[in-house]
Amino acid sequence: MKILLIAPNIDATDVGEAFVAFKWAEALSERVELTVLCFQRDGRAAVAQQLPTAKVVTWPEPAWARKHERLNAMLKPAWPVFAGHVRRWIREAQSHGTDFDLAHQLMPQAARYASPLRHFAIPYIIGPLGGALDTPVEFRSEASSAPLFTRLRKLDALRFRHDPWLRASYSKAACILGVAPYVQEVLGDIPLQRFEPVLELGIDDVAPTVERQADRGSLKMLHVGRAVRTKGLRDAIRALAHLKDLPNVTLTSAGAGEELELCRAEAKRLGVADRVRFLGRIPRAQVEELYASHDAFCFPSFREPAGGVLYEAMRQGLPILTADRGGPSWIVDDTCGFRIPVTNPQRFAADIADAARTLATEPALRRRLGTGARAKVMREGLWGQKADKLVGLYKDVLANQNAHRAIPMDSHLRISS
């Protein structure tokens, strides 16, 4: 099976979307005849060397797009440049009789980028798409400090209803992948041919089993993530204020951000500062040590599209406390943790506290949920398993295309059987 994979950045030495795209491409290149189109970032290892079993075509990433790292990660300003390269390359490939069974736009993850694949007759898949979650009304007054470009997400719903290029990109796709089922609801104004939930994240293996404390009334909770309002660190701190009768329930925070000083002040105001450790940004190896040394992972992020840190914690056998919204609501189930309804800040903190109290006072349940977390991530999170399932989806999409002829054939592109 000949697959064309496109993503603006694919890099094993990077983080975020670029690293995730590399893991998908690496696993897929071992299972299909893969051609990859992407940017090559200056100063980084050649993508072709990183993916020796794939055919790799790259273009230099514009230097101006890399001047502001956070802005580049959020808005992908070089996407029109990349899309233009892709269109020209496909046309040239067609003129030389190159065949592909299917194309897959793997990234960007955000559901706001019109696809160059919509201009061609080849069946294509987009995703896994994520993002486009809004901040719950009850929390908006506390999230008003978000940077301007992150508030532009409010325009997403309008674009799904009215942007002809974005609507055509998704409606013409043979299948749209979403990081969780909520994405189908977000795209509800667009007529999709098919939707499948596929979490974009994966793991290489599970961590060795750790024997954790079983003391009743004691619980070391861990929060890992950027210190921004939506990640729920402030809510986890407020939960401690409901647990003053359990002084051995503590919280460790790993991550930097604009919310950090506010959270320090909140812990002091609530009288729980002595039970919260703020580590700020720390090396990756130290984060792994924290997973191994803590008893539970408290990540009540209420606008989380996917939740990669949940997989990180689950592979370490930690029970999870998270929000019943977005990606976490799909990743976590009753076998591995608690999903807490997102109501209002006061009720949310109290419900987090109730879940933490249950874990602190029931060590057997804590162990059972930790075991369940490891088992769940082993069932669905290993990269090889995820790639096998995606290849199975490719075959099913092509079978349906051949059976129903949903997309007309183009005389300039032969689709091989």
What is the reported pLDDT for 71? 59
Q: Which range among 69-83, 88-102, 172-186 shows the weakest confidence by mean pLDDT?
A: 69-83
Query: Residues of the chain with pLDDT > 90: what percent?
Result: 80
What is the reported pLDDT for 247? 96
**pLDDT tens digits along 214-254:** 889 999 999 999 999 999 999 999 999 999 999 999 999 99
**pLDDT tens digits along 158-192:** 888 889 999 999 999 999 999 999 999 999 999 99
One DSSP character per residue, 123-174 reads -EEEEEEB--PPPPGGGGGGSTTS-HHHHGGGGHHHHHHH-HHHHHHHHSSS
Give the domains, in start order, of the chain with CATH numbers: 2-202+382-404 (3.40.50.2000), 219-379 (3.40.50.2000)
148 vs 108: which has the higher pLDDT: 108
Mean pLDDT (the chain) is 91
What is the reported pLDDT for 414? 43
What is the reported pLDDT for 413? 45
What is the reported pLDDT for 15? 81
Q: Rounded to two decimals, what is the model's pTM? A: 0.87
Give the confidence band of 147 by pLDDT, cuts at 50, 70, 90: low
What is the reported pLDDT for 412? 45
Give the confidence band of 417 by pLDDT, cuts at 50, 70, 90: very low
Strand-pairing partners, residue 102, are 3
411 vs 408: which has the higher pLDDT: 408
One DSSP character per residue, 71-131 reads HHHHH-TTHHHHHHHHHHHHHHHHHTT---SEEEE----BS----GGGGSSS-EEEEEEB-
Q: Which range among 32-46, 143-157, 281-295 shows the weakest confidence by mean pLDDT?
A: 143-157
Q: In degrees rounded to 5, what are phi and psi of residue 186?
A: -60, -40
411 vs 134: which has the higher pLDDT: 134
Average pLDDT over residues 33-59: 97
Residue 409 has pLDDT above 80, yes or no: no
